[in-house]
Amino acid sequence: MTESALLKRLVELMLQTANAAQGSMLDNESRAPHNSRLSIRLAPDDRRLLRERALARGIPAATYLSILARAHLRGLSPLPKVELLALERSVSELGRLGRNINQIARAANQGGTVSIPGREDLRAMLRVCEGLRDHVKGLLQANLKSWRQGYADQDA
């Protein structure tokens, strides 16, 4: 299996996982009445931390707590919107690169005049793919870590 095929498989698997988790959250919300409430007591420090963490994710505190509880109960690692958008941008870049390679291959197979990429061009494409792969891995690791700790790493 080529590195690009492996990368494509990795990206598709991640998107399927993210879509499944997102879809299952929406399905459960539509089945459960919105007036289903659960009251909990939090210490003032915990309440402050909850507000801070929800604010960092850009969602209401109750929603954050609901997602966190669901993720814990079901063993999920929700992918926040910002991280999902970064992943989608990465997939888009890979798509552009793939289209360019397909155009070159199509022209070569049809006997057309093709400016075949040189060794350095191919190495540059490989570096782009490896960089995107590493970026996506880092994104997923940061996502898992942030849901365990409550904060996304600012450095990641």
Tens of pLDDT, residue by residue over 121-130, are 878 888 888 8
- At residue 53, what is the residue type? R
Residue 154 banded pLDDT, cuts 50, 70, 90: very low
The span from the CA of 147 to the CA of 34, in Å, is 24
Q: For the chain, what's the residue count?
A: 156
- Provide the pLDDT for residue 152: 45
Structure letter (DSSP) for residue 14: H
The span from the CA of 70 to the CA of 73, in Å, is 5
The span from the CA of 133 to the CA of 145, in Å, is 18
Dihedral, CA atoms, 8, 104, 85, 140, nearest 10 degrees? Answer: 30
The predicted-structure confidence for 11-50, as pLDDT tens digits, reads as follows: 777 777 767 666 665 555 556 566 677 788 899 999 998 8
19 phi, psi to nearest 5 deg: -65, -40
The span from the CA of 139 to the CA of 133, in Å, is 10
- Provide the pLDDT for residue 21: 64
pTM of the model: 0.40
The predicted-structure confidence for 109-119, as pLDDT tens digits, reads as follows: 787 676 777 77
The span from the CA of 67 to the CA of 78, in Å, is 8
The span from the CA of 133 to the CA of 152, in Å, is 20
The predicted-structure confidence for 41-100, as pLDDT tens digits, reads as follows: 899 999 998 888 888 777 888 888 888 887 778 777 666 667 777 778 888 888 888 887
The span from the CA of 150 to the CA of 95, in Å, is 33
Hey, where are the domains in the chain?
3-149
- Provide the pLDDT for residue 43: 92
- Provide the pLDDT for residue 57: 74
Q: What DSSP string runs through 41-74?
A: ---HHHHHHHHHHHHHHTS-HHHHHHHHHHHHHH
